[in-house]
Amino acid sequence: MPNPAAAMLVIGDEILSGRTRDSNLHHLAGELSRHGIDLREARVIPDRHEAIIDAVRALASAHDHVFTSGGIGPTHDDITADSIAVAFGVPIRVRDDARALLEAHYARTGQHLNKARLRMARIPEGATLIENPVSAAPGFSIENVHVMAGVPAIFQAMLASLLPRLTGGTPLHSITVRINRPEGDIAGPLASIAAEFPDLSIGSYPFVEQGRYGSYVVLRGTDRAILEAAEVHLRNVFGEDAA
Amino acid sequence: MPNPAAAMLVIGDEILSGRTRDSNLHHLAGELSRHGIDLREARVIPDRHEAIIDAVRALASAHDHVFTSGGIGPTHDDITADSIAVAFGVPIRVRDDARALLEAHYARTGQHLNKARLRMARIPEGATLIENPVSAAPGFSIENVHVMAGVPAIFQAMLASLLPRLTGGTPLHSITVRINRPEGDIAGPLASIAAEFPDLSIGSYPFVEQGRYGSYVVLRGTDRAILEAAEVHLRNVFGEDAA
């Protein structure tokens, strides 16, 4: 059975304006690889209702899972939860269990659960909460869409809460071999190796170090034995240039 | 006249597998903001023909410009140029001016212009070359799609070659004010300020520092006078908490 397919939706003007460098995609990609879920696509879109609704619908219909980050805080620009509710055609309102999480958190930290903060307890009907051990305000899963915070520490904590719930497939393994020759020199032999190992994805990534060109060759696949056979073959072909 | 709208397409299995952290999106976003081109969306897709063709067509029809990164090197997994040619229904072949650039570069560096490297001179019919001062192999623009390398130093150099050719709009300016209060406390007043300044985009980004919560408020807009008026207003509202 093939691994489940996933997409990520990064929601936030601050990424598209260049103010903030997204780091959640990289974290999610690594975690999903280890969990045996294939990340097939990622999109970054602004904090706009129609953009969120359109992207969620498109990605949710084409993938087993969609992971979103951003736009679920207490301020006026946090419109993700409302947009997701529209995308699935369900109402959204303050939910008792989510409110209880916030009440406990703010009582503990001596802060006031005001109207703005209470917005974070608004959950689309039929959703399952995703625990947030950092700052209490929960994420949620609705159908195959998992809605999480944009702040990296909170995104990571929510993902750690969520992942054990999701059925994974075969983890993707990878072996990286450094070849001390420029990409253009190794391209021919590498194409032959790729043809011999059709089950693997073989990528080549050039680098420059102290003015000398080299290439990292990355072998990726789910079967360790095949990966190791390909590595042996690769090292034989490139001899002393393989480090 | 509104600013031109743009999308970015990041092409590369290595980003989706978690091996590599993309940095070209962040660089492009900042450069486009300064140039007055609005980045509206970004997508990350794998090195697969159909994925590239579909995404290029979808993004090119919906935006004034599409910027791509990745997949134009000499190896078997570099399939971007071929996919773009298919997306626009034009032939692709080695072009004399691109080959001359490679011949000069490899003659200078004492390397051999072999068959794999010559692939980098294959350019879709009707395209305009984008100069690559780092490693010679050019990018290209075809209609409204600008195809560049994935290696960050080369992507940045190509973008610097390309941008002066593109008509920009009004640069987006931003002012960031640090408020030493948690997001939930400032959300109410901030929503009022956002309503008073409908021409600005006002975002709020929480932070935690030595266990204390605060918020960066970012005002964005094209008119400096309006931005400064909003900043004065914001500082008045939050008084000593605004740093």
pLDDT grade for B208, boundaries at 50, 70 and 90 = confident
pTM here is 0.92
Collapsing DSSP states into helix, strand and coil, what is residue A166? Answer: coil
Beta-ladder partners of A242:
A179
CATH 3.30.70, chain B: domain bounds: 173-241
- At B235 the pLDDT is 96
CATH 3.40.980.10, chain B: domain bounds: 5-165
Burial (0-12, 13-18, 19+ Cβ within 10 Å), A121: buried
Show residues of chain A in contact with B120, CB under 8 Å: 184
Question: Under CATH, to which class is A5-165 assigned?
Answer: alpha beta
- At B15 the pLDDT is 96
Fold of A173-241: Alpha-Beta Plaits (3.30.70)
- At B108 the pLDDT is 92
- At A136 the pLDDT is 94
Report d(CA B71, CA B76) in Å as an integer.
Answer: 9
Task: Inform me whether the pLDDT recorded for B171 exceeds 80.
Answer: yes
Closest CA to A131 of A111, A108, A154: A154
Residues B149-168: pLDDT tens digits? 999 999 999 999 999 999 88
Q: What is the mean pLDDT of each run of 10 residues along chain A (243 residues)?
A: 93 94 97 95 97 98 98 94 98 98 93 94 98 94 98 95 91 92 93 94 87 90 94 95 89
- What chain A residue is nearest to B191 in terms of C-alpha separation? A76
Collapsing DSSP states into helix, strand and coil, what is residue B132? Answer: coil
Choose the mutation target among B3, B11, B31, B44 for the interface with A, i.e. most A CBs under 10 Å.
Answer: B44
**Which residue is associated with the tokens 């901030």?**
B190
Show residues of chain B in contact with A205, CB under 8 Å: 14, 20
Beta-ladder partners of A10:
A44, A69
By Cβ distance, the residue of A21, A30, A176 closest to B26 is A21
- What chain B residue is nearest to A194 in terms of C-alpha separation? B76
User: Chains A, B: CB contacts under 8 A, how many?
Assistant: 190
- At A2 the pLDDT is 84
Listing from the earlier edge strand, what are the strands of the sheet with A212-221? A173-179, A212-221, A201-209
- At A172 the pLDDT is 85
Query: Do β-strands B173-179 and B212-221 pair in parallel, antiparallel, or remain unpaired?
Result: antiparallel
- At A211 the pLDDT is 79
- At A206 the pLDDT is 86
> Is residue B13 within 8 Å of A203, Cβ to Cβ?
yes
pLDDT grade for B109, boundaries at 50, 70 and 90 = confident
Residues B1-33: pLDDT tens digits? 789 999 999 999 999 999 999 999 999 999 999
Could you tell me the CA-to-CA distances from A167 to A64, A170, B81, B230 in Å, in that order?
Answer: 11, 10, 37, 49
- At B80 the pLDDT is 98
Choose the mutation target among A109, A179, A205 for the interface with B, i.e. most B CBs under 10 Å.
Answer: A205
Report d(CA A71, CA A81) in Å as an integer.
Answer: 8
Choose the mutation target among A9, A31, A38, A44 for the interface with B, i.e. most B CBs under 10 Å.
Answer: A44
Radius of gyration of chain B (CA): 22
Task: Please provide the DSSP assignment of B3-67 as one string.
Answer: PPEEEEEEE-HHHHTTSS---HHHHHHHHHHHHT-EEEEEEEE-S-HHHHHHHHHHHHHHSSEEE
How many beta carbons lie within 10 A of that of residue B86, not counting itself?
Answer: 18
Burial (0-12, 13-18, 19+ Cβ within 10 Å), B195: exposed
Q: What is the mean pLDDT of residues B51-66?
A: 98
Closest approach of A202 to chain B, Cα-based (Å): 8
Share of chain B above pLDDT 90, in %: 87
Cβ contact (<8 Å) for A174 and B116?
no
Give the long-range contacts of residues B90-93, CB within 8 A, separation 24 or more. Answer: B90/B124, B90/B125, B90/B126, B90/B142, B91/B124, B91/B125, B92/B122, B92/B123, B92/B124, B92/B125, B93/B122, B93/B123, B93/B125
